[in-house]
Structure 1
Amino acid sequence: MIQSCFGLLGLILIAWAISENRRGVHVKIVFMGLFLQILIATLMLKVSAFSNAMMFLNHAVDALQLATEAGTSFIFGYLGGGPLPFAEISPGASWTLAFRALPLILVVSALSALLFYWRIIPVIVKGFSFILQKTMNIGGALGLGVAANIFVGMVEAPIIIAPYVSAMSRSELMTLMVSGMATISGTVLVLYASILNPVLPGAIGHILTASIISAPAAILIAQLMVPETATALAENNAKISSTASSSMDAVTQGTSDGIKLVISVVALLLVLVALVSLANQILHFLPDVYGEPITLQRILSIVMWPIVWLMGIPASEASTAAGLMGTKTILNEFLAYLQLAHLSPGLLSPRSTIIMTYAMCGFANLGSLGILIGGLTTIAPSRKEEIVEMGIKSIIGGTLATCMTGAVVGILY
């Protein structure tokens, strides 16, 4: 607990140290951001009414997995979860990522579109937006954008406030970008929960909580790195609405969007795994260090070691945790969660597993940067140069925000 408390302050100091204007930082935002993070985490993790509600969501994940398996086994047979026509020699060998896990994205995408059309998601987003505006003293347009990032993707959220993006101050634009990097979308939330359930019971509750906690952290970090010096966009009349004409149309649109996402995920995973393998093959020509070959994972683990220690990971487990954080930052959180789910027993304690689940819950990686820049420059072409300039900063900010969330959880566990 003491280590995580020290680390929480250390992460804030890192953001302040790389600030564009250290004297322009508003201390009130720092304290309010910390207060909101700790309050939300305490409610979600320690108050039985909230924690039970989060655990109940796990049943929803199981239901979605069963429903998806009904469809995949019908289409793909035993590859999709149907009865095997042969004896399984190695336990778990019949499970394939492409036919068992990724189709879940299609189901969740369609369901999300339906809930959006029924105006269930917009009401929730508006509620979070109101809270962020009143507590963090940010403009209405930015509050809506940050709140939307908790539930939708880093490009979909800015689309909701598209008319206001071009007029945002530099600080607001940075905050919008960091909030996209520090959270994940509802489409992949269920997928990650299904991967982590075997090693972390109630994973969906933890992942959803992580995304919520990281919202005020993203505002805090962004405001430290690029302090507000202009008048915020206080009001917004952006209407959150679906373009679907009916429930069936919403399901159709959601499925179509899900197909694009699945193809993107498959292609990106294939390429990233191949590039990591290629990099490791090149590094293999270098002499071994301490009897082991140099790999990209080992290099990244050295860089991220101090960061994971600051979150509260014991020194004996920090190398493993740092490797996961490096994979998440350079590649993506999906691969990092897969690695976390398949770690050898004993490498991470249950407490460290929870901390890393929260710390890796964000889109802050190089692959996402291309998506974010592409989306935002399309929405606000006049701000293209500024958006590109702040790209790497947004990855750093998103990483620091999720690490703060990991440290807050480390304090409570």
Structure 2
Amino acid sequence: MTAMQALLGLLVFIGLAWLLSERRRAFPWRAVAAGLALQFLLAGVMLGVPAAQQAFLVANELVLALDEATQAGTGFVFGYLGGAEPPFKPEGAGDTFILAFQALPLLLVVSALSAVLFYWRVLPLLIRGLAAALRRGLGIGGALGLGSAGNLFLGMVESPLLIRPYLQRMQRSELFALMATGMATLAGTMLVLYASIIGAVLDDALGHLLVASLLSLPAALLLAAVMVPPTGPPTEGGLEAEAEPASGAMDALVQGTLRGLDLLLQIVALLVVVVALVALVNSALGLLPAVGGEALTLERILGWLFAPLAWLAGIPWEEAARAGSLLGTKTVLNEMLAFLRLAELPEQALSPHSERILVYALAGFANLGSLGILIGGLGGLVPERRREVVELGPRAVAAGTLATLMTGAVVGLLDTAGLA
């Protein structure tokens, strides 16, 4: 029953994309078949091959090493607020943990390292390799392949810089696919942070989040082909631009640190505002009559709305409302708050099977806040197509959400079959 549930979910998610399509008569059967085949192939290899499991362990050790290194820096600068030994005896578990001073500074370290790796040509090499695989597997053009692959490492605003010379002449369908893949994946900078947050929920969290982003790439590309079908030959192109060229490794380190600082401050500000607004909404809803013996909250309402999608992804119905609440939080608010809420759930609130599906389904930037960032960034790169970017924005959020749900369903299928 669980396998049939997830298979039905895959069909429904693709069907929803077709209902949102600009041209419903042109259904790209070949692109859908190739995308599904590539998604299952990657999932089978990454989750079922012992060597991949070993890579997960290495990735987990990397997270621990980066976390310890970051705490050395935060402890030196912020003292016990940053994780150093407190000058008093804590009375309860977690009393000295402060998100802004102990977890979020990891962004600074990873951003700086990413900039240095880009300068040393390590990341461009990985991006080219992944882009070549996407071109061969899905038949997309070189420009879209590079831009899509860049989303895994640089993020949805920085990756279009890699193909800036081609943005103006890309097909509408290719521009949309670039936006959809940005919404369906997580940047490498955020992967490490989220892995540190959900490490207690899922073993080898970084490896799973990496696989989640990788699996969501073909899913987003096939959904993009359904929602905005291509009308001409693909745009070819190579890696002709860099995010921000640096004069040396130290310059790259400084630039990466400053970009990470901007991101950290944005996240802190957004978390303060979002959590405050949720509290305000819950206070207003508390004035309404109780439903089912409990007060109405935004989390409960989102849970009811997104429960069917959680069930279609393979989560049992008795857990669907709780999972749906997290999916709704991710879509309406942001994925960081959803991961934080997931980490705060009591033990056995969700089964291990549901937790795994949910982690994969949450691993994407598809939310309203990210839409504003994407429109601002991409619209600034190609101002002559800004109106088109704005027009395609809501569809891109839908495509990113459906792509991560497809990834959750695929992983759930393999987990049910004992292959993951």
Q: TM-score, normalised by structure 2?
A: 0.96
Cα distance in 2 for partners of 1:330, 1:117 equals 36
Structure 1 residue aligned with 2:136: 134
Unaligned runs of 5+ in 1: none
Give 1:376's match in structure 2, choosing from 378, 403, 407.
Answer: 378
Aligned residues: 413
Structure 2 residue aligned with 1:25: 27
Cα distance in 1 for partners of 2:327, 2:5 equals 18
Deviation at 1:58, TM superposition (A): 0.4
Cα distance in 1 for partners of 2:398, 2:20 equals 10
Q: Secondary structure at the match of 1:329?
A: helix
| Matched-pair contact (CA < 8 Å) for 2:366–2:397 | yes
| Matched-pair contact (CA < 8 Å) for 1:182–1:218 | yes
Output the amino acid matched with 1:136: L
Q: What whole-Å deviation, never above 9, does each CA across 1:236-287 have from its counterpart, x for those lacking one?
A: 4524475111111111111111110110000011111111111111222221
Output the amino acid matched with 1:162: R
Structure 2 residue aligned with 1:398: 400
Structure 2 residue aligned with 1:248: 250
Structure 2 residue aligned with 1:189: 191
Output the amino acid matched with 1:280: N
Cα distance in 2 for partners of 1:241, 1:278 equals 39
Cα distance in 2 for partners of 1:48, 1:10 equals 32
Cα distance in 2 for partners of 1:319, 1:241 equals 41
| Matched-pair contact (CA < 8 Å) for 1:184–1:361 | yes
| Matched-pair contact (CA < 8 Å) for 1:122–1:241 | no
Deviation at 1:2, TM superposition (A): 2.5
Structure 1 residue aligned with 2:345: 343
1:231 aligns with 2:233: yes
Structure 1 residue aligned with 2:282: 280
Q: Secondary structure at the match of 1:86?
A: coil
Deviation at 1:25, TM superposition (A): 2.0
Cα distance in 2 for partners of 1:302, 1:19 equals 26
Structure 2 residue aligned with 1:329: 331
Unaligned runs of 5+ in 2: 416-420
1:367 aligns with 2:369: yes
Structure 2 residue aligned with 1:82: 84
| Matched-pair contact (CA < 8 Å) for 1:117–1:241 | no
Q: TM-score, normalised by structure 1?
A: 0.98
Give 1:211's match in structure 2, choosing from 210, 213, 234.
Answer: 213
Shift in alpha-carbon separation, 1:236–1:119, aligned structure 2, 3 A: closer
| Matched-pair contact (CA < 8 Å) for 2:141–2:237 | yes
Identical amino acids, percent of aligned pairs: 53
Structure 1 residue aligned with 2:418: none
Q: What whole-Å deviation, never above 9, does each CA across 1:324-366 have from its counterpart, x for those lacking one?
A: 0000001111010011111011211111111111000000001
Q: Secondary structure at the match of 1:372?
A: helix
Q: Which moved more, 1:206-215 or 1:295-304?
A: 295-304
Structure 1 residue aligned with 2:318: 316
Deviation at 1:174, TM superposition (A): 0.8
Cα distance in 1 for partners of 2:288, 2:390 equals 35
1:262 aligns with 2:264: yes
Cα distance in 1 for partners of 2:243, 2:334 equals 30
Cα distance in 1 for partners of 2:407, 2:391 equals 26
Q: Secondary structure at the match of 2:25?
A: helix
Cα distance in 1 for partners of 2:214, 2:314 equals 20
Cα distance in 1 for partners of 2:195, 2:348 equals 21
Q: Secondary structure at the match of 1:189?
A: helix
Deviation at 1:301, TM superposition (A): 1.1
Deviation at 1:154, TM superposition (A): 0.6
Give 1:92's match in structure 2, choosing from 74, 91, 94.
Answer: 94
